[in-house]
Structure 1
Amino acid sequence: MMQQNNFAIYFAGDAYSTAKKIMGRQSAGKAFMRGVARTWPSGLLHGVAPDAKTAESMVRQLRGDGFSGELRWHDFANWRGVDSVSALYYPAPPPTEFAAARNLWRPDAYSLMGVTHTLSSGIAMDQIANLVLPPFKPWDALICTSRAAHTLVSTLQAEVREWWREQTGASRFVQVELPIIPLGVDVSAFAPESGGREAARQTLGFRDGECVFLFAGRLSFHAKANQAPLYQALEKVAQQVPVTCIEAGVFPNDAIKGAYIKAQKLLAPSVRFLLVDGQDEPRYRQAWQGADVFVSVSDNIQETFGLTPVEAMAAGLPVVVSDWDGYKDTVRDGVDGFRVATILPPAGVGRDLAVRHALGMDTYDFYIGRTSMATVVEPTALARALLTLALDGEKRRAMGAAGLKRAREGYDWSVILHRYAALADTLGRIRTEAAGSAVEPWPTRADPFARFAHFSTQTLGGSWIVEMLPGAHTRLHDLLTLSMVGYAFDAVLLPKESLMALLAELEKGSLPSVNELLGAAGLATSAGVRALQWLWKFDVVRVRPA
């Protein structure tokens, strides 16, 4: 029986769309939303967003992906959780601010459930380190998309705990859940079409007898995979069999595109290259349909999971990948394709690279790029794996079939999302066992009227007397035409209507106390107090101690 959706989705548009940026995180997020629509096409979904405009974008995206069920949207500022929802999914490591805001109201109201993507940035490292400290709770989780990600996260957190012990004598830390759940793909979107291979090869101009290798992904030699070793290996293969290499993706700029083309001509003159725009969906689809072998020799620490080899398996292609990060989990060496050994320098060799980046002397791109320059994808083994598949069509077909079966059974989003839902259930049980958690303050983000109370002469008292001044309505009318005093109006935080409601009560002739006035006007709220202060600030009413 399929697990029902039991987690809300925090919708940040740029995390679920490739319209502005095509990177692994955005591609995974876009596929995640499509997977949600496919897995629960007519169900009830809960969306949490910072504003109504963002919520509208979420609805449009889900509808575009085929969702016909009900979406209940919640304003994040007022999100307190609902009984049917165990967790709030966030498309990155859960932010400290989210946990602290939740704890102001009720720490056990819901769990935060984030996911790893790139782990090499300073921001990502800090986010992971912060998870061992309050305001996070044991019923929060960071989904690690691979064993490599889990090892990095758990090792870093252990080192952070030890650092705090040595520096401050701290002994109590938070242990969030760290399940290993891979990213998913829409297997049906990559499935081979009947007659699709022949049609694609004819359209793309491939000749009989040539082996077509495909790389798909970001075309960035410093931030994804340096293709020079691949070009050198393909040149060796091309001495025995005709070779075409498709590179399908998007270049960050023309300079990088030029660098690719120059390297292709110099390092692999015997190989025919075909560049396919990753944003040209029909052409991109043809590239997948017409290829014989998928290849990705990632050598970059920015890679954590690696979606494209799983997409290749879903397309029925054998794969040749570097034995690196998440590829170690997804590709079975000798079964779905080949994993080529990678070699790093010993620890200590990169300390200067890390410090230079931390101090702002090197950009992030140079940091990861220089690290990749010392990461070896073993050249002889790479050429051997490529040649083996280029010469053996039967092996290509067998490995492609094994990969397709693996993708369907373990990596389709319908499978992965039910693992997410099971995780949300687990977190809910942990939360239930800790029921009754007390409300917790957020010291660094306190109520400004508490934090800065000593700045003023006095603090408004509930027994103080309120009096409407002559000409109050005329003065209010004039004031409302001024942006200088009206810029802060908001339907929730400072409604204009509350000003009129307070004056309407004062017109009844009595001199009520602050508490009496706010209660009679139905404004015994923080927004009501702020409205009264606004009227006093601009001399519409007078307030004095009793």
Structure 2
Amino acid sequence: MKKSGIFGTLDPFLEDGPILGRRVANLGFLRALLAADPFEAYHFFIADKPRRESLSGHLATLAPDIAQEGRLAFMDRRELPARLAATPYACFHQSDCISHPAALARLRNAHARSLFPITGPVHSLSYPDYPAAFLRHLWPGATARDCIIATSRAGELAVHGFFERLRQGYGLAHMPGPSVRRIPLGVDADALERPLPGPEDKADLRQRLGLPQGRGLVLVLGRVSHASKMDLLPLIRAMARLAAERPDLGPASLLVAGWAEADDPFPQSLAELSARAGVDMILDLRPGERRKAELLAACDIFCSIADNPQETFGLTLLEAQAAGLPVVASDYDGYRDLVAHGETGVLVPTTGPAPAEADDFVDRLAPVLFDNQYHLLLAQRTVVHTPALALALAKLLENPALRRSMGQAGRQRVRDSFLWNAVIDRHIDLWDELSALPAPDIEQLRTVPHPLELPYSRVFAPYPARTLLPQDRLRPGRTGQALLSGKEFPVLYAGLDGLLEADAVRKLVFLARKGEAAGPLAERFRELCPGMDAERAAYHVLWAMKHDLLEPEP
């Protein structure tokens, strides 16, 4: 049964570019939402026409039944005020909590029928301009029905840390803010439909992929960057330690697969460091989805030692467990939510700096550095313990039965808690919960501006020589007179659709035919045009003056 109301968003959820966690997660969310199909319709407000057309084509393929039923709509964002006023939205959901939720809340408060929930998840939280983005959430028009969705316990605590810092620093202890809830990301159920490969299957797959036989294969999958994902040198040191101290384990290779720019010299430098340490490393850069699935099936252990605050969740850990691999991961951020230590894998201890009393040199430098520069500074003071990492790898390399049992347990854990269809159910429950929360009367919020909203008419009032006053008298200009006699017509530029109406312009000029003060003229104009609000009426008057349809009386 469909929920009453319509789902709205300003995001396409589909991104071009490298296969990164955020992109995979957003596509997974949209695909699962449309598969569940809980709403009457789905409205996408996209900034430009080519993207609207592109998204329409993609979703016609992704959700053909919904598309054929006409329940997908793709609209210009300039339509938001009118659509919000006319449409019973159940919620608006963004692909992140940063870009537009507070601006959406202001539009909702001003135009919508009711205070529907506005939600968006966190992805990376470590950018130095994010405090300003979170500050936007703290304003008098925020309600508990606005919600930031953290994907991990660590991410949830970080979001609360943002708000604590902002409330203290700006004296905003009294200021309402959004709710914070936790819902993880997920993987598609079809990831669990592939049968787990046996020893012979792995051997055949390795031969086809050109991977070594008769060796333990440790897979790392993700961005190949010591500055934006993880420093792999501790893993190389751990494997070198095993080769020197545990020759009984037999040979093992490290397979590093993931994204790097074609001209990035770092992957090759990493390979040279591995060779110098006596570790056999295989690089597989920019694999597609099919090859990624084959690599997961061909390897014995999945390893990810995130040390970078840019990581918040860890989608590759779910993909690895869905593929039946035991996981060795750093006990860091969202990773500890995904790996059941001792059951589905091993969490390796990490150590970080004690919280600074005020700020430290990295805090002060970050706003003037490139992302990779300050992320590197942050990551290099996060320790993933090499001895414990070596022990974890040794434990799994020497025990095939343990690898199988942990891999099977990980697969079951994904099936029980991290499939997208269950994650979408949690979002639906959340939207219902938020809708039922106490909230102010929306009429009290209609005229509450957002403090970070730029008041253009006030700030830029000194730019024109004068401003239009209610007592200023107006009459039809030369073009306006021609319009009234049918010899001219309003020229409406693309981009003003929905704001200006040709018939309304004719009515406005007609009302001024004998001369009229601007204030009363706007009021009579509104009476003649049902649904016309004061702001749009004032806009029509100034636009008509600009185009010589109206002119000041001498």
Give the TM-score taking structure 1 as reference length.
0.84
Distance of 2:500 and 2:222 partners within structure 1: 48
- 1:231 aligned onto 2:236: yes
Match of 1:88 in 2: 92
Match of 1:291 in 2: 299
* Matched AA of 2:167: R
Per-residue Cα deviation, 1:212-269 (whole angstroms, up to 9, x for no partner): 11111111111100111111222334443222322221103422232222222223x3
Match of 2:250 in 1: 241
Distance of 1:255 and 1:533 partners within structure 2: 58
- 1:344 aligned onto 2:344: no
1:329 pairs with 319, 337, 341, which one? 337
Per-residue Cα deviation, 1:337-378 (whole angstroms, up to 9, x for no partner): 1000001133339811111113x1x32311110121121111
1:45 pairs with 42, 45, 58, which one? 42
The verdict on how the C-alpha distance between 1:122 and 1:441 changes in structure 2, with shifts beyond 3 A counting, is: same
Match of 1:220 in 2: 225
Distance of 1:543 and 1:437 partners within structure 2: 37
Match of 1:173 in 2: 175
The verdict on how the C-alpha distance between 1:91 and 1:390 changes in structure 2, with shifts beyond 3 A counting, is: same
The verdict on how the C-alpha distance between 1:281 and 1:114 changes in structure 2, with shifts beyond 3 A counting, is: closer
Task: Say whether the 8 Å CA contact 1:41–1:68 is kept in structure 2.
Answer: no
Question: 1:135-534 alignment to 2 at 5 Å?
Answer: 135-165=141-171, 171-189=173-191, 191-193=193-195, 197-238=202-243, 239=247, 240-252=249-261, 253-267=263-277, 269-278=278-287, 280-348=288-356, 351-358=360-367, 360=368, 362-431=369-438, 437-442=444-449, 445=453, 448-449=456-457, 457=466, 459=468, 461=470, 464=473, 466-467=475-476, 469=478, 473=482, 490-494=496-500, 505=510, 511=514, 513=516, 514=521, 526-527=535-536, 529-534=538-543
Per-residue Cα deviation, 1:395-428 (whole angstroms, up to 9, x for no partner): 1111111111110111111011111111111110
The verdict on how the C-alpha distance between 1:274 and 1:433 changes in structure 2, with shifts beyond 3 A counting, is: same
Alpha-carbon offset, residue 451 of structure 1:
6.1
2:32 pairs with 35, 40, 44, which one? 35
Alpha-carbon offset, residue 292 of structure 1:
1.4
The verdict on how the C-alpha distance between 1:396 and 1:366 changes in structure 2, with shifts beyond 3 A counting, is: same
Distance of 1:448 and 1:128 partners within structure 2: 23
Per-residue Cα deviation, 1:283-325 (whole angstroms, up to 9, x for no partner): 2221122111111011111111111101111111111100000
Question: What is the DSSP-based 3-state SS (H/G/I as helix, E as strand, rest coil) of the residue aligned with 2:292?
Answer: helix
Alpha-carbon offset, residue 106 of structure 1:
5.0
Moved more, 362-371 or 489-498: 489-498
* Matched AA of 2:307: D
* Matched AA of 1:91: S
Moved more, 129-138 or 315-324: 129-138
Question: What is the DSSP-based 3-state SS (H/G/I as helix, E as strand, rest coil) of the residue aligned with 1:254?
Answer: coil
* Matched AA of 1:254: D
Task: Say whether the 8 Å CA contact 1:5–1:40 is kept in structure 2.
Answer: no
Distance of 2:145 and 2:495 partners within structure 1: 38
The verdict on how the C-alpha distance between 1:184 and 1:101 changes in structure 2, with shifts beyond 3 A counting, is: same
Match of 1:63 in 2: 60
Task: Say whether the 8 Å CA contact 2:7–2:41 is kept in structure 1.
Answer: no
The verdict on how the C-alpha distance between 1:523 and 1:388 changes in structure 2, with shifts beyond 3 A counting, is: closer
The verdict on how the C-alpha distance between 1:434 and 1:341 changes in structure 2, with shifts beyond 3 A counting, is: farther
* Matched AA of 2:145: W
Alpha-carbon offset, residue 39 of structure 1:
2.8
Question: What is the DSSP-based 3-state SS (H/G/I as helix, E as strand, rest coil) of the residue aligned with 1:80?
Answer: helix
Alpha-carbon offset, residue 272 of structure 1:
4.3
Distance of 2:479 and 2:60 partners within structure 1: 55
Distance of 2:377 and 2:467 partners within structure 1: 59
Moved more, 43-52 or 380-389: 43-52
Structure 2: gaps (5+ residues): none
Alpha-carbon offset, residue 436 of structure 1:
5.2
Match of 1:117 in 2: 123
Question: What is the DSSP-based 3-state SS (H/G/I as helix, E as strand, rest coil) of the residue aligned with 1:303?
Answer: coil
Task: Say whether the 8 Å CA contact 2:145–2:439 is kept in structure 1.
Answer: no
The verdict on how the C-alpha distance between 1:60 and 1:408 changes in structure 2, with shifts beyond 3 A counting, is: farther
Distance of 1:337 and 1:71 partners within structure 2: 42
Task: Say whether the 8 Å CA contact 1:187–1:311 is kept in structure 2.
Answer: no
Task: Say whether the 8 Å CA contact 2:152–2:313 is kept in structure 1.
Answer: yes
Q: Aligned residue pairs: how many?
A: 528
The verdict on how the C-alpha distance between 1:544 and 1:159 changes in structure 2, with shifts beyond 3 A counting, is: same
The verdict on how the C-alpha distance between 1:41 and 1:193 changes in structure 2, with shifts beyond 3 A counting, is: farther
Match of 1:16 in 2: 14
* Matched AA of 1:245: L
Give the TM-score taking structure 2 as reference length.
0.83
Distance of 1:441 and 1:234 partners within structure 2: 60
* Matched AA of 1:408: R
Alpha-carbon offset, residue 537 of structure 1:
3.5
